[in-house]
Structure 1
Amino acid sequence: MFDIGFSELMLIAVVALVVIGPERLPRVARTAGHLLGRLQRYVSAVKSDISREMQLEELRRLQSEIQESARSVEDGLSSEMQAAKQALTATAEAVNREIKAPPASAPAPSVAHSPVAPPLPGDLPGTSASRSGPGTSA
């Protein structure tokens, strides 16, 4: 960070020894070490706070993107549901109108439900043979 070499560090130590004196130098060095430790902890705390805020901001941005996507999906589904509802309502109304409308003509009797035997040649008008029972021929 400061790019201090060994020779510069020795020069600082000699100047501190001359200026402060040999009696107070250990106490000053200890105090300087404590202050440097506090400074490092403070810088570390600030870095972690900044990192946490950046992560929170990224999460907020991601949350807003997800909410926007969810809204667009919800709007799309809502419009599709409305279209399907309208189509079903129109179909139901058409069926109800057909059910409630009076019939145009009477329904023809169903041939499939009433079995009718085909007329025999002797039963046709203008024939003289009479039939006495099923399976007998005249």
Structure 2
Amino acid sequence: MFGIGGGELVLILVVVLMLFGSDKIPEIARTLGKGMAQLKNATNEIKHEIQKGASENGLDVNSLTGGITEEIESAKQSMNNALNPVEFQNPVEEIKEEFENLSGPIKRQM
């Protein structure tokens, strides 16, 4: 998550439990939850205001980010093609099918 391992998380929870006590932890968790919800709502409002201002000025924010998304997908596709060439996949599948056909009667006898 934030570079924190399981042991470190347990240690942090133990320290929090010792500092605040078991009766305060649910209240703290509720407060943190409400704060995170308010932060999420604020960021959504800011995004909405930016998009609204851009559309009023004649800019389409989706078209600006759409080109980047298409380029990323194109790069992913070319990397997949480079790492998994099609000409190697077909012979592997054929060999797998032949092996299954040969081992099929042996498996049924067991």
Identify the structure with the greater helix proportion. 2
Which of the two has higher C-alpha Rg? 1
TM-score for both structures, normalised by structure 1: 0.35
TM-score for both structures, normalised by structure 2: 0.43
